[in-house]
Chains A and B, each alone.
Chain A
Amino acid sequence: MEFSGLSIEIILNTLQVLLPLLIILVIGVIALEVGLYLFLARVIKTKYALPYTLLAPAFVALVVFMIYPLIFNVLLAFSNLERSTFACYSPVSLGTCELDHLYGLDYAIQNFSDVFFRVRDGEIVGWGRLLRTADSTFPVLLGRTAIWTITNVVFHFGIGMALAIIMNQKIRFKGIYRALIVIPWAIPSVIVGLTWRQEFHAQYGFVNVLIQALGGQPVSWLDEPTAAFIAVIFVNVWLGVPFYMIMLLGGMQSIPADYYEAANIDGASAWQRFNGITMPLLRPIIIPAVTLDVIWTFNKLDVIFLVTGGGPQESTNILVSALYNAAFGPAATTELGFAAAFSIIIFIILFIFALVWITTSGGLKEIYDR
């Protein structure tokens, strides 16, 4: 008996795979906690026996799922691992997977220099190609990432702030407006991406239908580099505004009304009240929200991948989508070692930026204080 591809047998199959995993996990966690606690409390006699015990499962998970893969990623950057030497690459292969690659400093130098330079006969002849087209070089992608991040964050913040200010007035139907405006945030991003791609279709998408109804010329959104970049930015702005609106509105509603009354008595203008009361008091919300948004937007590749796939002619790729395309996309390079090196460089850029931004703005300071 099978309906829509689902039968009792398939359900049982999945459970047979996943239930043992969960049971092993629970037993493992309990065994680890009991063993470690006895060891720490009876043998080492540390006063931190309990917190270390409580932390142990999470720590093991972090090591297994985060630290080990990250170290492995660095190792990959020191290797010549290629798709072709990756014996099990074929999607349907069933045998054990043998990795046939070597580690060496030479490979690391090669991989990292490939990110930046194109070398011919020992001489640098230009910027390295990260994807297929000659335009997909590091400085171009970095510049586009900067434009992408700044534009998105400015629009997110600007529109979110404007909406929050309006919603903070005495206005009717506030709950309804808020529920409607929050909707883009709640929709699975795959559906957002795929749906907008269809709606930017030159002929049948509603964007062009609407433009023509208003007397404009249709735009081939997905075939022209500039138009395509505007399209992906639009979709990402559409997605990101609700987060800011909710955060800022929540912040504004926690500002005591007395402050504004006092300012009113002193004859402050609307702008003075906004600049002198609202903005400073919202600072603890704005700084972390902007910090997070910059990191998220910098790393946001699903919108680009789903709406344009980085196209046309790789012209809408930012660093992270270029990395995904280089490692796994249709135009993937065969060299996973190179992709690993590329990923490390992207992370270093973001990390340095975040470090500078967080130390200068004082954002996220609270985590240490608690």
Chain B
Amino acid sequence: MSTQTAVTPAPTPTWSEGGFKRVRQLIAGVLAIGGLVLTLVNGFSIGYLIVGLWLALLVWKPLHGILVFYATISVYPVLRVISISLRPTDGLLSRSLDLIPPGATLNSFVELFEEEEFLRWIWNSAAITITVSTIGVVIAATGAYAFSRWRFPGRRPLLIFLLTTQMLPASMLLIPIYVIVAQLNLTNNVIGLVLAYTSTAVPFSIWILKGYYDTIPPDLEEAGMVDGCTRMEAFYRIILPLSTPALSIVFLFNFLASWSEFLVAKVILQANQVMTWPLGLNELIGTFNTDWGKYAAGSVFVTIPVLLLFLWQSKYLISGLTLGSVKG
């Protein structure tokens, strides 16, 4: 945020002239008041006021107008899921756009826990996800180090192979894995899903970690080795502690990827004894009926922690992504 660079000058010279600015302010004021009047005339339908205020903003400060518009598009569907989760059962099928529904209630949340096996879905998802993420980090941590520090024979073909795995259509791996898992009699078993998820988690983790190790100067280990460490001690005492952010990024990425995975789970877990939450919520949504409230409640329950985690870690997540998959 430190270097503010003006790609296009905020207001172009003609626009910043006093007279023109005043005209725009005037138009903006008229639009806002117009919206307010229309709202009052039409029996407090707040929509007119919102549209009026937004048009006013667009005329007065166009950049903010655009950003507010796009931010609304990004956020409104999310707010609406929250709003639906608060609707009373008899008001579920409403065409209202209000964010706080009349007669708001937490009933859907209560029903979700009491009538569905929601906690069991969450537990299954969590157990699978944590196992996969752990395996990914453990296996990738040392392998990525080898890729980063040595030019051994076979390095280049392996790296190209890792890159190519990113291009595999999900179903291409899913067909053989499904047959293998079925042969091992692991369908409807958490292990089957752990195996399926690990197949995508490992290449990805190596990729990101290699990118991170590349940014750590090799001088650090060499200094350690001069002081009498072995190479492995240098790795465990110097590189791994320095890589904590990258390790947690890899863990988080694998966590987020398998936490909300749906298509593979749908194939591997076909019976209902073991369900993850995406499968559970998919069953709830079927068509428009009373379960919609429960679906919305479940979505809110699952999304809020992920969202907070993402916003809190977004800086690291994004830098991890750039380092790992984009800059190579």
Q: Which chain B residues numbered 285 to 325 have a C-beta less than 8 Å away from chain A? A: 285, 288, 292, 295, 299, 302-303, 306-307, 310-311, 314, 318, 322, 325
Q: Does A301 contact B (CB under 8 A)?
A: yes
Known: A186-B310, A327-B174. 13 other contacts (CB 8 A): A4-B117, A62-B161, A65-B202, A169-B7, A169-B63, A171-B64, A180-B71, A187-B306, A188-B259, A190-B281, A319-B169, A346-B172, A351-B164
- Taking the closest CB of chain A, its distance from the CB of B200, in whole angstroms, is 8
Chain-B contact segment, one of A131-139, A224-232, A287-295: A287-295
- Assess whether B175 is in contact with A270, with CB atoms less than 8 Å apart: no
Mask of B200-238 contacts with A, CB within 8 angstroms, 1/0: 001100100000001000000000000000011000000
Residue of A nearest to B328 (CB): A367
- Assess whether A58 is in contact with B206, with CB atoms less than 8 Å apart: yes
A-B contact pairs, 18 of them (CB 8 A): A10-B120, A50-B150, A51-B152, A66-B199, A91-B271, A165-B7, A172-B64, A186-B306, A187-B306, A201-B288, A204-B93, A242-B74, A247-B322, A250-B322, A257-B3, A270-B8, A336-B179, A343-B175
Considering the chains assembled together, what is the distance between the CA atoms of A197 and B284 in angstroms?
A: 13
Q: How many A-B residue pairs have CB under 8 A?
A: 360
Residues of B that sit less than 8 Å from A by CB: 1, 3-10, 12, 47, 63-64, 66-67, 70-71, 73-78, 80-81, 93-95, 97, 113-114, 116-124, 127, 131, 134-135, 138-140, 142-150, 152-153, 156, 158-159, 161, 163-180, 182-185, 187-191, 194-195, 198-199, 202-203, 206, 214, 231-232, 256, 259-260, 262-263, 266-267, 270-271, 278, 281-282, 285, 288, 292, 295, 299, 302-303, 306-307, 310-311, 314, 318, 322, 325-328
Q: Does A167 contact B (CB under 8 A)?
A: yes
Q: Does A96 contact B (CB under 8 A)?
A: yes
- Taking the closest CB of chain A, its distance from the CB of B302, in whole angstroms, is 7
Considering the chains assembled together, what is the distance between the CA atoms of A58 and B139 in angstroms?
A: 5
- Assess A22 versus B131: contact at CB under 8 Å? Given A183-B74, A191-B260: yes
Considering the chains assembled together, what is the distance between the CA atoms of A182 and B317 in angstroms?
A: 12
- Assess whether A324 is in contact with B7, with CB atoms less than 8 Å apart: no
- Assess A188 versus B175: contact at CB under 8 Å? Given A58-B140, A66-B203, A69-B180: no
Q: Does A25 contact B (CB under 8 A)?
A: yes
Q: Is the interface of A mostly helix, strand, loop or mixed?
A: helix
- Taking the closest CB of chain B, its distance from the CB of A163, in whole angstroms, is 6
Residue of B nearest to A192 (CB): B77
Selected from A21, A73, A196, the residue in CB contact (under 8 A) with B191 is A21
- Taking the closest CB of chain A, its distance from the CB of B155, in whole angstroms, is 8
- Chain A residues with Cβ below 8 Å from B93 are 204
Mask of A260-302 contacts with B, CB within 8 angstroms, 1/0: 1000000000100110001000001100110010010001011
